């Protein structure tokens, strides 16, 4: 902990997403961002200067700073576990961008290493800590829809190749519409209804190749190696059921759809890929009741702050490594079901956290 009582933070990875993280992390009074590291050290230096961070350089230099307690890992997914293990070996807490890993085994190894070292792991997505989804969770807990029974999640789009300048990785191993976007929807549902118990999936590809539509590579084709459309059946440990569609194959765009139907009504969540948005409750009548989102306006990095506060207070943090591994396990299980044609048991689990207090504000110091 820094001399001023704030928790020292280091950031590994100075790519595009680091702008949003650094903008938020440097605005939280409970945190003090001390160092930015990247393989491209000039890029790390530029980001540090841009956001008023005093130190920059290599990963080894970051891990040697004793005042850094929490490291935010924004590297590419394929090295999330490798970098995370280095952070843990240095005795520091770890916050990782999604996904926590690309397979169950390495994710479990990461969490076991953290447990042995006495440090914590947290992981994005932390959108479920935003005012929109937290307001929805509080409405369910309050009984606004009675007993929850069924869930529906829909993400349908033509795919990102028309606008993304380098989209090939989004159609290959570790991505596709489920791993890239569906993770937000599955995270929102499991924090609302609890852990998944078993799943089944069907997958398909509209085309074996796609064409880049913009940027310097426009006109180039690339291979599609994973399903570009996934439909899933979900069963929760608590007995509720759900259906989900994650697709890059639909000319009709239908995104941000998450609904939970209960005995007394249906709740419509805001887009789970965002931190805000109002809630609708459909009951008797032809018009919904609109519940404005109540809470903070911060975005990416909010989960890292909540984790830091939990470490100081000695309580569980909400965007935990166990919950992230459970969602990964669920997605891997759906992918296995696509191949096998049957239901797959989801063997991992986690303890869902209560909703944030309504007045929780990342911009208010607690130290």
Three-state SS letters, the chain? CCCCCCEEEEEECCCCHHHHHHHHHCCCCCEEEEEEECCCHHHHHHHHHHCCCCEEECHHHHHCCCCEEEEEECCCHHHHHHHHHHHHHCCCEEEECCCCCCCHHHHHHHHHHHHHHCCCEEECCCHHHCHHHHHHHHHHHHCCCCCEEEEEEEEECCCHHHCCCCCHHHHCCCCHHHHHHHHHHHHHHHHHHCCEEEEEEEEECCCCEEECCCCCCCCCEEECCCCCEEEEEEEECCCCEEEEEEECCCCCCEEEEEEEEECCCEEECCCCCCCCCCEEEECCCCCCEEECCCCCCCCCCHHHHHHHHHHHHCCCCCCEHHHHHHHHHHHHHHHHHHHHCCCEECCCCCCCCCCCCCCCCCCCCCC
> Which pLDDT belongs to residue 16?
85
> Which pLDDT belongs to residue 1?
52
The pLDDT tens digits for 219-269 are 999 999 999 999 999 999 999 999 999 999 999 999 999 999 999 999 999
CB atoms within 10 A of CB 3: 8
- Report d(CA 244, CA 105) in Å as an integer: 25
> Which pLDDT belongs to residue 136?
97
In the chain the domains, ranked by start, together with CATH numbers, are 7-123 (3.40.50.720), 128-291 (3.30.360.10)
> In the block, which residue shows the tokens 């310097």?
216
> Which pLDDT belongs to residue 308?
97
**Which stretches of the chain drop beneath a pLDDT of 50?**
none
Are 291 and 135 in contact by the 8 Å Cβ rule? The answer is yes
> Which pLDDT belongs to residue 99?
92
């Amino acid at each position: 902990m820094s001399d001023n009582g704030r928790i020292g933070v280091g950031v590994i990875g100075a790519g595009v997403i680091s702008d949003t993280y650094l903008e938020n992390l440097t605005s939280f009074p409970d945190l003090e961002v001390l160092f930015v590291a990247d393989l491209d050290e000039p890029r790390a230096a530029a980001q540090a200067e841009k956001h008023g961070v005093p130190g920059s350089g290599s990963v080894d230099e970051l891990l040697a700073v004793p005042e850094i307690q929490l490291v935010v890992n924004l590297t590419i997914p394929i090295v999330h576990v490798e970098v995370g293990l280095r952070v843990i070996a240095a005795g520091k807490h770890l916050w990782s961008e999604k996904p926590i890993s690309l397979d169950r085994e390495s994710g479990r190894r990461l969490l076991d290493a953290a447990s042995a070292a006495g440090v914590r792991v947290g992981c994005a997505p932390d959108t479920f800590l935003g005012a929109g989804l937290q307001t929805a969770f509080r409405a369910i807990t309050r009984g606004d829809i009675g007993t929850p029974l069924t869930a529906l999640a829909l993400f349908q789009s033509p795919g990102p190749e028309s606008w993304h300048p380098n989209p090939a990785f989004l159609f290959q191993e570790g991505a596709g519409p489920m791993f890239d976007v569906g993770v937000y929807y599955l995270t929102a549902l499991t924090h609302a209804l609890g852990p998944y118990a078993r799943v089944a999936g069907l997958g398909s590809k509209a085309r074996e190749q796609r064409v880049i539509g913009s940027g310097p590579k426009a006109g180039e084709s690339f291979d599609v190696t994973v399903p570009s459309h996934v439909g899933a059946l979900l069963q929760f440990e608590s007995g509720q059921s759900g259906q989900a569609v994650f697709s890059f194959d639909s000319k009709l765009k239908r995104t941000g759809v998450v609904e939970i139907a209960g005995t007394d009504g249906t709740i419509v969540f805001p887009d789970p890929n965002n931190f805000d948005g109002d809630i609708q409750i459909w009951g008797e009548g032809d018009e919904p009741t609109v519940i404005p989102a109540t809470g903070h306006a911060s975005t990416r990095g909010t989960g890292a702050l909540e984790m830091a506060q939990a470490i100081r207070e000695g309580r569980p943090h909400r965007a935990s490594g166990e919950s992230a591994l459970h969602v990964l396990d669920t997605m891997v299980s759906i992918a296995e079901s696509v191949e096998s044609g049957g239901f797959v048991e989801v063997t991992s689990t986690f303890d869902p956290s209560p909703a944030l207090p309504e007045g929780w504000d990342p911009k208010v110091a607690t130290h």
